[in-house]
Amino acid sequence: MVKTIVWKDDQVVMIDQRKLPMQERYVVCKGYRSVIRAIKGLVIRGAPAIGVAAAMGVALGALKIRANNREQFEEELDSICREIVAARPTAVNLAWAVERMRRVADETGHRGVKGIKSRLVEEARKMLDEDIAINQTMGRHGQKLLKDGSRVLTHCNAGALATGGYGTAIGVVRAAVEAGKRIEVFADETRPFLQGARLTAWELKESGIPVTVITDNSAGYFMQHGKVDAVIVGADRIAANGDVANKIGTYMVAVLAKTHKIPFYVAAPLSTIDASVKSGKEIPIEQRDEKEVTHFQGRRIAPQGVAAQNPAFDVTPHRNVSAIITEKGIITPPFKAKIRQLLASG
Ligand code: MRU
């Protein structure tokens, strides 16, 4: 399976997701600022994957700090952490990962600067391995929701490319296939970055899982014609009440699914749950460059001077969510108390 991100010889290597599926290129980050550029520019994207990238960014940054006294080292490390957290606002995995790295640095203080540095590298690498294992566990839980022959619609890319590997929503599909079920996937193309058409379709094809790319605006057509048995998406942040922020267009799909009585499942690790936000209203939504809408592959498609807006995520209210699949099991509505219990057990 594709390696989304690896730590190699004190550098971070990522597959360039802007170029897929036409070219399989890799970006090598030698310093934390190039990791930030890669996150902002969508070389790497997907909540768990940017969490891992952020952790590796902290480790890279730490390695380059020259200060030998702990106080100055920590001051510089804090400033690196702040810069990395600011790279993208919606996926909470980014802040979660940086916070975990910061804690590790605190706990290792007694080992001196050299000791902290090597412990941070170790932790970032561990987070990558953990993420893959979590996705596999989540997949094993979630696949029970799919029957042999299920036709699953997904939005954006919540696969191996959006994570350390295996995937969240696509991980559930993978696990169902591994359990011997025949599963077909409808991949919404997911304008404007085309995560569905380019990335989900690419990785499913590579894995030999049947996939059909559809335009975003035809999801309703396929549901109305009885072609979709379940929707599974990932998440960038889940609020304490179960509201789900995910790629723009997810809300539309959730509303359609409810109208057509199709289950709408969200697969996400506990690191995507942010108990500090009570509801989706408090989740910051990234607004990206309007050029991503007015231009296609560098060429203008909308009239010069026309206004455009480009919110990158939307919030699906918890009442539209049939179940949340996590590494600790599946929860169904009402979510609030169950989310609290899950986090307490994590
Ligand atoms: O802008 P992106 O591509 O980073 O958005 C990604 C998504 O919305 C994914 O669906 C989400 O992160 C879940 S990934 C397992």
d(CA 305, CA 114): 54
Q: What is the pLDDT of residue 2?
A: 83
Q: Which residue in this structure is represented by tokens 């997949």?
A: 139
Q: What is the pLDDT of residue 297?
A: 86
Per residue, the 3-state secondary structure of 96-154, as one string, reads: HHHHHHHHHHHHCHHHHHHHHHHHHHHHHHHHHHHHHHHHHHHHHHHHHHCCCCCEEEE
d(CA 1, CA 166): 8
Mutate to test the pocket of ligand 1, among 132, 134, 138, 157 (most ligand atoms within 8 A of CB): 157
- Which of 318, 173, 165, 338 has its CA nearest to residue 235? 318
Token couple for 54: 């952020």
**pLDDT tens readout for residues 103-145:** 999 999 788 999 999 999 999 999 999 999 999 999 999 999 9
Nearest protein CA to atom 6 of ligand 1, as residue: 46
pTM tops 0.85, yes or no: yes
Measured in Å, residue 112 CA sits from the centre of ligand 1 at 37
Using CB distances shorter than 6 Å, the residues near ligand 1 are 45-48, 91, 156, 158, 162-163, 168, 195, 234-236, 246-247, 312
Q: What is the pLDDT of residue 292?
A: 97
Measured in Å, residue 236 CA sits from the centre of ligand 1 at 6
Mutate to test the pocket of ligand 1, among 45, 135, 286 (most ligand atoms within 8 A of CB): 45
- Which of 21, 50, 5 has its CA nearest to residue 189? 21
Neighbours of 18 (CB within 10 A): 15
Q: Which of 131, 236, 274, 314 is catalytic?
A: 236
- Which of 275, 255, 268, 281 has its CA nearest to residue 330? 268
Say how far residue 96 (Cα) sits from the centre of its chain. 13
Q: How many CA atoms lie within 13 A of 22 on its CB side?
A: 4
Q: What is the pLDDT of residue 322?
A: 98
- Residue 82's SS3 state is helix
Nearest protein CA to atom 8 of ligand 1, as residue: 247
Q: What is the pLDDT of residue 116?
A: 97
d(CA 232, CA 154): 5
Q: What is the pLDDT of residue 8?
A: 97
DSSP string, 198-226: IIIHHHHHHTT--EEEE-GGGHHHHHHTT
d(CA 139, CA 144): 9
Is 314:90 a contact under the CB 8 Å cutoff? no
d(CA 293, CA 194): 11
In ligand 1, which atom is closest to the CA atom of 93?
12
Q: Which residue in this structure is represented by tokens 């030999």?
A: 208
Burial class (CB in 10 A: 0-12, 13-18, 19+), 110: exposed
In ligand 1, which atom is closest to the CA atom of 47?
12
Mutate to test the pocket of ligand 1, among 195, 253, 286, 327 (most ligand atoms within 8 A of CB): 195
SS3 of the chain: helix, strand, coil, percent, to 5: 45, 20, 35
Measured in Å, residue 342 CA sits from the centre of ligand 1 at 22
**pLDDT tens readout for residues 73-113:** 999 999 999 999 999 999 999 999 999 999 999 999 788 99
d(CA 278, CA 240): 5
d(CA 173, CA 292): 30
- Whether 106 is catalytic: no
d(CA 233, CA 244): 10
In ligand 1, which atom is closest to the CA atom of 163?
15
CA 117, 120, 125: angle at the middle one, nearest 5?
130
Q: What is the pLDDT of residue 1?
A: 79
The low-confidence residues of the chain, meaning pLDDT below 50, are none
Phi and psi (nearest 5°) for 167? 105, 160
Measured in Å, residue 248 CA sits from the centre of ligand 1 at 9
In ligand 1, which atom is closest to the CA atom of 45?
4
